[in-house]
A and B are shown apart, each in its own frame.
Chain A
Amino acid sequence: MVPSFLARDRIVAGPGFSRWLIPPAALCVHLCIGQAYATSVYKTALVEHFDTSLTAIGVIFSIAIVMLGLSAAVCGTWVDHNGPRAAMFTAACFWSAGFLVAALGIGTEQLWLVYLGYGVIGGIGLGIGYISPVSTLIKWFPDRPGLATGLAIMGFGGGALIASPLSSRLMQLYDQSGYDATDPSSVADGHAVTMLFVTLGIVYFAFMMFGAWTVRVPPEGWKPEGWDPAEVREKRLVTTASVSAGNAIRTPQFWLLWTVLFCNVTAGIGILEQAAPMIQDFFRDSSGASTVTATAAAGFVGLLSLANMGGRFVWSSTSDVVGRKPIYMLYLGGGIVLYLLLATVGDTAVALFVLLAAVIISWYGGGFSTVPAYLRDLFGTFEVGAIHGRLLTAWSAAGIAGPLIINGFLDAQGTPGELTADAYRPALLTMVGVLVIGLVANVLIRAVDPRFHEPAASDDLERSAT
């Protein structure tokens, strides 16, 4: 099925191998594919280069996110069966090829090639890359799955933090028209973006290959020193049985969790989508001018990126202690309260607004990174990567629904950047409703009915206990 050098049996860890090499291997992939969140850096340059609308350029990102969900869902079982090296290698090839094809499209002024390259080919790399280390991390860290997946998925947030300033500097280096990365009104030329894409394609390929060659799977029956699998059995909602991906999607638990993720992501996108104009609109003086400068608004976006990344690690690790269901009660229930505060008193002080938004976004990030561990708890480790892949279709759906909701309400009120806090209230209250649906779905989650369990006693935890 895959060349022998990629096969799962070639990467079984030998004696003395440390599991602490697995998180950096996973980060090598997630830090690269996290670039997807840094597309705004060259968005204006592409609009000018192709002489087209912002919407036409925004479609590139939308295609990539839809392909992420679809490829994760379709390829999840393949990833689980062939192991993390094959998955990381494949993701690197697609992600890198996507950049190179898109570079060709920019260089030849063929926008459809950018759609095909970054959107379709790169999007497949995104989906396979996103799920590639998840089940391996869970198997290496059965005692702390939240911490392990939090570390990797934090990398997806961190990737944007690296790619954004790095892309600005590279474009300045390649630009031939006097582009100044420190001047927000300056725009890079097409040549600079082409060369940026070529550079990123090559660098990301090398980086992801390091991850692919470092990753290992634990030998059969391996467990962390001093860890007793019996501890897992004592926790509520944590199974030691195995549920296949095919059976998982027949359970109400899968669809309830799908709804939870969809609602959490939709609500988070509500803020992320409009962060910069939103903070300026919330604070206006009597003449209607915003008291928050464009530079400060950009700083707010940076702060949200930090909250998004930090939340992925902090909240997912916390879930190992407090449990997965309670932590989602916090993300969703707490989100309801904070969204209500944002809608009603968010415009009283900038510090309060920033605090509320940052905590909401940290829960948005936490929702992403905690979900693999929640799946492990409900369905076991057997095909958790494949189940995770299918669940990520909720992200794709939210990627469409979130902006539609927020833009739909704001378009009816005027133009973002010229609105007031009152104009955001209907959209924010709608997000409260979305979070209530997610909260109810989370409350309804119970242990999976044993009829969905695999008939053979093939549970990894039980094997490792004997």
Chain B
Amino acid sequence: MSERSDASARMRLRIVGAWALVGIPLAYGLVETLRKAADLFTG
């Protein structure tokens, strides 16, 4: 039972890690593009 919950916790950790790996660069790109897009209204 505890082995199964360990495996489940490891899988959750892998999911969080994998999503962070793609999510962080994507968030960087989004923020940079939003800053650039803001120039449409201020530039």
* A interface residues with partner B (beta carbon < 8 Å): 16-18, 20-21, 24-25, 27-28, 31, 155, 158, 160-166, 207, 210, 214, 293, 295-303, 305-306, 354
Contacts and interface: CB of A to CB of B under 8 A. Distances in A.
Contacts of A207: 21
Contacts of B39: 295-296, 298-299, 302
Contacts, number: 94
B1 interface: no
Interface of A is mostly: helix
A158 B29 contact: yes
A306 B33 CA distance: 7
Given A21-B15, A27-B22, A296 B40 contact: yes
Top 9 A-B pairs, shortest CB-CB distance: A299-B40, A161-B29, A295-B43, A299-B39, A162-B29, A302-B36, A296-B43, A24-B18, A165-B32
A365 to B, nearest CB: 14
A299 B41 contact: yes
Given A161-B29, A295-B43, A303 B37 contact: yes
Interface residues of B, number: 27
Contacts of A161: 26, 29-30, 32-33
A298 B32 CA distance: 13
A306 B34 contact: yes
Contact of B37 (A17, A214, A299): A299
Given A24-B22, A28-B22, A31-B22, A18 B40 contact: no
Contacts of B25: 31, 162
Interface in B6-43: 7-8, 11-12, 14-15, 18-19, 21-22, 25-26, 28-30, 32-34, 36-43
Contacts of A20: 15, 19
A293 B43 contact: yes
Given A24-B21, A155-B22, A16 B8 contact: yes
Contacts of A300: 37, 40
A354 B41 CA distance: 11
Contacts of B32: 161, 164-165
A17 B30 CA distance: 30
B18 A162 contact: no
A162 B37 contact: no
A112 to B, nearest CB: 32
16 contacts: A18-B14, A20-B15, A21-B11, A24-B21, A28-B21, A28-B22, A155-B22, A162-B26, A165-B33, A214-B18, A295-B39, A296-B40, A298-B36, A299-B36, A299-B43, A306-B30
A295 B42 CA distance: 9
Given A18-B12, A293-B43, 15 more contacts: A16-B11, A20-B15, A21-B18, A24-B18, A24-B22, A27-B22, A155-B22, A158-B30, A161-B29, A162-B25, A165-B28, A165-B36, A296-B39, A299-B38, A305-B33
A25 B18 contact: yes
A31 B29 CA distance: 11
Among B18, B30, B43, which residue has the most Cβ atoms of chain A within 10 A? B18
B40 A303 contact: yes
B33 A302 contact: yes
B17 to A, nearest CB: 9
Given A16-B7, A299-B39, A302-B33, A158 B15 contact: no
A174 to B, nearest CB: 19
Contacts of A25: 18
A213 to B, nearest CB: 11
B29 A24 contact: no
A397 to B, nearest CB: 29
Contacts of A296: 39-43
A292 B7 CA distance: 57
Contacts of A305: 33
Contacts of B4: 16
